[in-house]
Amino acid sequence: MRFDIITVLPGLLESPFAHSILQRAQKKGIAEIHIHNLRDYATNKHKSVDDYPYGGGSGMVMSIEPFAACIEKLKAELEYDEVIFMTPDGETLNQRIANQLSVKKNVIILCGHYKGIDQRIRDIYVTRELSIGDYVLSGGELPAAVLVDAVVRLIPGVLSDETSALSDSFQDDMLDAPVYTRPADWNGHTVPKILLSGHAGEIEKWRFEQALERTKTRRPDLLK
């Protein structure tokens, strides 16, 4: 799977993609992540990519020309399944969306800044708008990194234990059950006996009941 991320701050994305699961996915050739500096597509002397908003008001708006030039160049070379804009007013990212995107081949992600991007980019090029929560960040780079991480770990071959992702929270519209590891007794705090019993069927039943109870308590909205 290939991701092309368009940003004015490419350095901000270097670390998230250079470690752990995302690094391994790239080394295995399962995921490709390409970062494009939006300023490379600015044609003015100062390489600026923003301007004052029509109608007045505070803040600056990201200009249409650099985004359009970069997107058009990419689309001339490859066919893309999605052009995603990370924005606070987009659809909230969840596990269902991550699952849907994990079967795509090529995806462009746009990172906004300032007061946002010219609406015409959203109208003409963007196929999906996603948010990672009801709050505003300085730019779309961190949300883009979150999206890529959530999607890549679902691609077959990325995780050493492919069943691990299938049992994550939200996969069955429920939160995950509590988990434990050694030692079985730590300062009088013990692991539930059922997990030490070796009875696979009873353990799965216990995990389901715990997951259901945790979901009812913490996220009852998921059960609707």
Residue 6 contacts residue 110 (beta carbons within 8 Å) = yes
Q: E strands within 112-196? A: 128-131, 185-186, 189-190
Query: Is 135 labelled as part of a ligand binding site?
Result: yes
Token pair of 11 as six digits: 């350095």
Query: Dihedrals φ, ψ of 186, to 5°?
Result: -120, 105
Query: Is 180 labelled as part of a ligand binding site?
Result: no
Query: Is 112 labelled as part of a ligand binding site?
Result: yes
Query: Is 81 labelled as part of a ligand binding site?
Result: no
**Listed residue (216, 132, 204) closest to 174, CA to CA:** 216
Query: Is 157 labelled as part of a ligand binding site?
Result: no
Query: Is 101 labelled as part of a ligand binding site?
Result: no
Query: Is 134 labelled as part of a ligand binding site?
Result: yes
Residue 1 contacts residue 102 (beta carbons within 8 Å) = yes
Binding residue numbers: 112, 132-137
Q: Specify binding-site residues for S-adenosyl-L-methionine.
A: 112, 132-137
